[in-house]
């Protein structure tokens, strides 16, 4: 008796592979789904970066208030004295270390705050340690800042008109309670990225430039072309400007401890030299947020 198979070649109940057309359709569907998914992932990452950056600002805000309560004034932007302006010199970021739960690191650094000695031109083993609190996750720039002696990169710079020093490089830190325009209307710290600009340096005011610790209004926020190589063609005034990679906004910490993401198109005076210190006294929104005692209302921004 001849046994019959359950199916003959070419007439089986199922196939072991897709046809070419089916495979192409599946690939096209997967490509469409990936195309729809990527923008959503990018938005989630951008939102997460903003949240982390805001948390960094909040920690620095609490630290500045803690320092103010203990010392009667905010930390000076760069440690100077009537007789000496050391460069490199310890910056506000070093002074607030004990207030951001880095007291052990502060003790290891053991900075000489007599002002005459200053800080090393190059980082030591201890001051080579990057701090997450001083880094914005939106900035993929390198860990060590080659613009400032190889010190760890920072993305945060202070408003020198509040923390000082003054135009003669003499100490001039204000107390929060002495900000006449109101602490909620005055910027303490802002962002500067390393990818499009020069960033800042953790721990010190470096000899390379005062932009290593401070920011100035300049002629706009985040003006650099993201397609340009980092620091190419940057003049000293552009290097002092604030900016970020958050897309359309730049983060700032205000004197009352609040954090604001300010639109890069905020009303501001761009007519004067961006290096000017103090900044333009024009009654424009961003300049009013920089000046602590100009008496001009800021309105909505």
- Tens of pLDDT, residue by residue over 220-243, are 898 865 455 454 456 778 899 999
Residue 202 has what DSSP assignment?
Answer: S
pLDDT at 5: 46
Cα 27 from chain centroid (whole Å): 41
Per-block average pLDDT, block size 10, for the chain (301 residues)? 47 62 81 74 72 97 98 96 91 98 97 90 96 94 90 97 95 96 97 93 96 93 63 72 94 98 94 84 94 92 87
CB of 113 closer than 8 Å to CB of 81: no
Q: What is the pTM of this model?
A: 0.84
- Tens of pLDDT, residue by residue over 173-211, are 999 999 999 999 999 999 999 988 999 999 999 999 999
pLDDT at 280: 86
If one counts every other C-beta atom within 10 angstroms of the C-beta of residue 119, the result is 28
Strand, coil or helix: 20: helix
Domain ranges of the chain: 21-290
Q: Identify the burial level of 2 via C-beta atoms within 10 angstroms of its C-beta, where 0-12 means exposed, 13-18 middle and 19 or more buried.
A: exposed
pLDDT at 100: 97
Strand-pairing partners, residue 187, are 254
pLDDT at 183: 97
């Amino acid at each position: 008796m001849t046994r019959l198979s359950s199916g003959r070649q070419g007439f089986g109940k199922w196939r072991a592979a897709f046809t070419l057309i089916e495979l192409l359709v599946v690939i096209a569907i997967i490509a469409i789904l990936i195309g729809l998914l990527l923008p959503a992932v990018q938005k989630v990452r951008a939102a997460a970066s903003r949240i982390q950056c805001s948390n960094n600002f909040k920690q620095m805000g609490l630290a500045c208030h803690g320092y103010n309560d203990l010392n009667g004034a905010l930390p000076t932007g760069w440690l100077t004295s009537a007789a000496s302006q050391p460069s490199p010199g310890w910056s506000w970021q070093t002074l607030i270390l004990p207030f951001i739960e880095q007291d052990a690191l502060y003790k290891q650094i053991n900075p000489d705050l007599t002002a005459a000695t200053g800080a090393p031109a190059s980082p030591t083993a201890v001051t080579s340690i990057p701090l997450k609190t001083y880094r914005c996750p939106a900035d993929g720039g390198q860990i060590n800042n080659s613009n400032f002696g190889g010190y760890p990169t920072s993305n945060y710079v202070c408003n020198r008109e509040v923390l000082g020093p003054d135009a003669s490089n003499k100490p001039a830190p204000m107390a929060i309670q002495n900000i006449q325009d109101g602490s909620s209307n005055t910027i303490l710290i802002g962002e500067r990225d390393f990818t499009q600009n020069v960033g800042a340096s953790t721990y010190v005011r470096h000899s390379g430039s005062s932009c290593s610790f401070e920011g100035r209004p300049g002629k706009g926020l985040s003006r650099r072309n993201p397609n340009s190589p980092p620091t190419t063609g940057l003049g000293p005034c552009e290097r002092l400007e604030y900016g970020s990679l958050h897309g359309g906004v730049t983060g700032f910490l205000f004197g009352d401890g609040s954090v604001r993401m300010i639109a890069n198109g905020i009303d501001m005076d761009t007519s004067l030299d961006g290096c000017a210190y103090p900044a333009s006294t024009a009654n424009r929104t961003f300049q009013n947020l920089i000046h602590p005692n100009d008496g001009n209302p800021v309105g909505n921004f």
